[in-house]
Amino acid sequence: ATMKINDVIRTKRLELGMTQEQLASVFGVHRATLARAIQHLKQEAIIACFTCRRVEIIDMERLRHMAHL
């Protein structure tokens, strides 16, 4: 089932179902670039976990700010 944005906000989890390689392709970047961005988000304590199954968000407000939302 597809997660709705309200579910992501409520649970602070985003179900991905794709690899970093696939996600990098969606964004049009190299996998190494995506990996560096993920590492930066972890170091900044914005996300806790990033796997092919899910992303666990620690600080939704900072993530929104970074995305200019």
* pLDDT one digit per residue (tens) for the chain, 69 residues: 455 778 888 888 888 888 899 999 999 999 999 999 999 999 999 999 898 788 999 999 999 898 876
Separation between Cα atoms, residue 52 and residue 35, nearest integer Å:
12
Q: Residue 13 has what pLDDT? A: 86
Q: Residue 56 has what pLDDT? A: 92
Separation between Cα atoms, residue 54 and residue 17, nearest integer Å:
7
Terminal CA-to-CA distance of the chain, rounded, Å?
Answer: 25
Buried residues in 20-35 as b, exposed as e (16+ CB within 10 A)? beebbeeeeeeeeebe
Q: Residue 3 has what pLDDT? A: 59
- The one-letter code for the residue type at 63 is L
